[in-house]
Amino acid sequence: MKKLGNKAFGEKRYDDAIQLYSEALDLCDIDTHILFSNRSAARTGKGLFDEAIDDATKCIQMMPQWSKGYFRKGKALLSKEEFNQAYNEFYRGLKIDPNSEELQRVLNQTKLELGPGEIDPRAILDKQLLELHFQRISQSLCEKMGVSYQSISEKVNDAVKEENGLENMLQEEPFVQIMETNEHSTYLVLAEILMNMGKNESSLIYSTKAYNMNPSDSTTATIHINTVLRNK
């Protein structure tokens, strides 16, 4: 029944897929979270978004460490244009599976729908999700600047142990090179790494530098807001 449902879904025969997945659920009690996930996708395709959300919620309840349930729920919410809630579901999925390109793609799509600034207060509600978000931003910035996020983190970790270590670090490679390439991004990466190390005062210094360079950027503003809050 599941295979037939998958075939119907692939052919966009959503009514048939829903019926087949429902029959499969009636017949078995093994891996039912997958069937609820599949039926959620079919119901989203059919436009039955509330029912799709119900199925995805059941999937998550049965298998909370499986990222697909969050993806399904987020997709149904995204279809309803409930961008706030959709973003949170995709974010929770990424927390479980940070390497999922599928979840990252829909997360970015939802972020664009939200528009500048709208992510900030919601993300602050979950410190772990926010830190994951910041780390992924920093990793992406490091890739664009041609440096390793891990190596930068290690250098920062060593530098904070010495007096004036951070200032001296910026006078050495690879920081001289990446500061010349993108000073704003370098400050953002430093602010994120230091913030997650609990070095709030130092983090605030670099987030302030980045914010002063580009106060209209929503990512910069979000990181800066959090460094300010952590210093209170």
User: Based on the domain organization, do 162 and 204 belong to the same domain?
Assistant: yes
Average pLDDT value over all residues in the chain: 88
What's the rounded Cα separation, in Å, for the pair 177 and 145? 9
In a shared domain, residues 15 and 81: yes
Number of domains, the chain: 2
To which residue do tokens 């460490």 refer? Answer: 65
> pLDDT value at position 127?
63
At residue 124, the pLDDT reads 41
Whether residues 135 and 82 share a domain: the answer is no
Q: What is the CATH number of the domain that holds 47?
A: 1.25.40.10
Of 114, 130, 162, which closes a domain? 114
Q: What is the pTM of this model?
A: 0.53
Which domain-ending residue is among 93, 114, 135?
Answer: 114
Estimate the share of the chain in helix, then strand, then coil, as percent rounded to the nearest 5.
80, 0, 20
Question: Which residue among 114, 145, 173 closes a domain?
Answer: 114
- pLDDT for res 114: 66
Domain housing 31:
2-114
Residue 121 has pLDDT above 50, yes or no: no
pLDDT digits (tens, 9 = 90+) for 34-60: 999 999 999 999 999 999 999 999 999
* Whether pLDDT at 71 is above 70: yes
What pLDDT sits at residue 186?
A: 95
Q: What token pair was written down for 25?
A: 């659920």
Say if residue 102 is in the same domain as residue 125. no
The verdict on 91 and 127 lying in the same domain is no
Q: Of 29-43, 57-71, 121-135, 147-161, which range is least confident?
A: 121-135
Residue 10 CB contacts under 8 Å (≥ 6 apart), including other chains:
none
Quick one: pLDDT at residue 116? 46
pLDDT at residue 128, rounded to an integer: 62
User: Based on the domain organization, do 105 and 195 belong to the same domain?
Assistant: no
The answer on 140 and 108 residing in a single domain is no
Helix (H) or strand (E) holding 217, with range, is none
Distance CA 169, CA 157 (A): 11
Please check whether residues 106 and 125 belong to one and the same domain.
no
Question: Is the distance from CB of 195 to CB of 206 less than 8 angstroms?
Answer: no
Q: What does the pLDDT look like over 88-110, one tens digit per residue?
A: 899 899 989 988 999 988 888 88
Same domain, yes or no: 37 and 126: no
Same domain, 71 and 145: no
Task: Confirm if 41 and 52 have CB atoms less than 8 A apart.
Answer: yes
At 120 the pLDDT is: 42
Output the pLDDT for position 73: 95
pLDDT digits (tens, 9 = 90+) for 142-197: 999 999 999 999 999 999 988 889 989 999 989 998 999 899 999 999 999 999 88
- 122 pLDDT band, cuts 50/70/90, is very low
Window from 75-79, 149-153, 225-229 with minimum mean pLDDT: 225-229
Nearest-angstrom CA–CA distance, 187 and 166: 12
Query: Are 8 and 104 part of one and the same domain?
Result: yes
| CA–CA dist 145, 150 (Å, integer) | 13
Confidence (pLDDT) at 117: 45
Query: How confident is residue 126, by pLDDT bands cut at 50, 70 and 90?
Result: low
Do 97 and 45 belong to one domain? yes
